[in-house]
Every structure is written in C-alpha cells, then in structure tokens.
Structure 1
Amino acid sequence: MTAQPIHSHESDRVPRNAEGIAAALDGARRMDFYRELLAASPEEAASVLRRWWCEAMLDTDPAGDRLTAAALDGTLPTTTVADLVARRRAAGLPVE
C-alpha cells in the first residue's frame, strides 16, 4: 500500500531560483529584483530570493485578479495568526 497526499500538490508556477523568478516578473519589476539581489550580501540573498519568489507567485496566480478585487472590496476571507498556528500544529507542520 502506498500513501497518497490528501491534497494534490501543484508544482510551483515559478521555479525557486533567480532565473525562474526573473522570468515571471515584468520588465520594471524584473530590474528591481535584479538590483536588490545584486546589492544583497551573501547572508541576505536567500531572503531576497524568497521574498521575490512570493511576489512572482502572486503575479502569476490565475486567481490573482479575483483575489485583488475581493481584497479591495473588503470581501476577502481573513483569519487570525492564532488560527493559522493552530491549524499548522494540528497538521503536524512546523511553527516558527
């Protein structure tokens, strides 16, 4: 018997590297990304990549326009940090 995930895992739309992130960003934002990455110290580079990867994932989200409209309209569902932490603990996921 093999274990199957409850939720199917969609591979990342944006590869988690500088090339993938840059390809997902438009021209002006791509230049901002490169400028920030090149100015970062080696210790800061991972943080810059992580932040811009999140930006690129949001930019390429097929539901992005709907989510933006819901946020602007005040109809986007929200939750508390405490609820998120409780859900992660219940799922056996790390909470840092």
Structure 2
Amino acid sequence: MKKIPSLLTFIFLLVVTACGGPFSTTTSELYIVKKAHSKDYEKAWIIAFDPNSITGKKEIKIMVNEPMVWNLIEVNKTYLTTYSKERDNPWVLEEIAHRGDDDTIR
C-alpha cells in the first residue's frame, strides 16, 4: 500500500523535472547601472549589480518585457525587485518598486 504514494510522488517529480527544469526566482534590492534596448526596440533590459555576488561588483542583465516599466526605471537608483530565470534563459523582471514605497500596487 505504501508503494503507490511513493510511486506517484516519484512520477510527479519526474514530470516536473522533465517539463520545467531548473527555475529560480530572486527578490532583492538592485542598484541600476544601465538601461539598453535592441535596435528594433523588441527587447529591453537593465543592468544592475548582482546582490548575490561576493564582491558586489558583478553585473547582472535582466530583461524587461513591459516598455512602460522600462521607461520609468531610472539609472543610478535602487529598487526592490523580483526577477526569475528558467534554465539557460536570461533573467526576466517580474516586479519592481521604489525602496520604502508602501503605496505601490503589487
């Protein structure tokens, strides 16, 4: 009887691993050092210091899918952010807010 739940758990983990692969989400304060976009304006990104870097000087590139959000981000400012990454794809910005701003919609 105990073999069935174990077998179902194993199958579930196998399916999740095969379909999704490694997925990572990070929430941290980011200091934005640069903004850029592709020549055709199809892709936009920000460059920030990686908060998980030991030296604190390693830059991280985060894609911004919403043009309006990208337009409002300012260089040389610190934001509270959530960004995610799936497999070898680039980091993608999920949420961003000004530090200490409790009046934002989340």
| TM, length-normalised to structure 1 | 0.23
Greater percentage in strand:
2
Greater percentage in helix:
1
| TM, length-normalised to structure 2 | 0.22
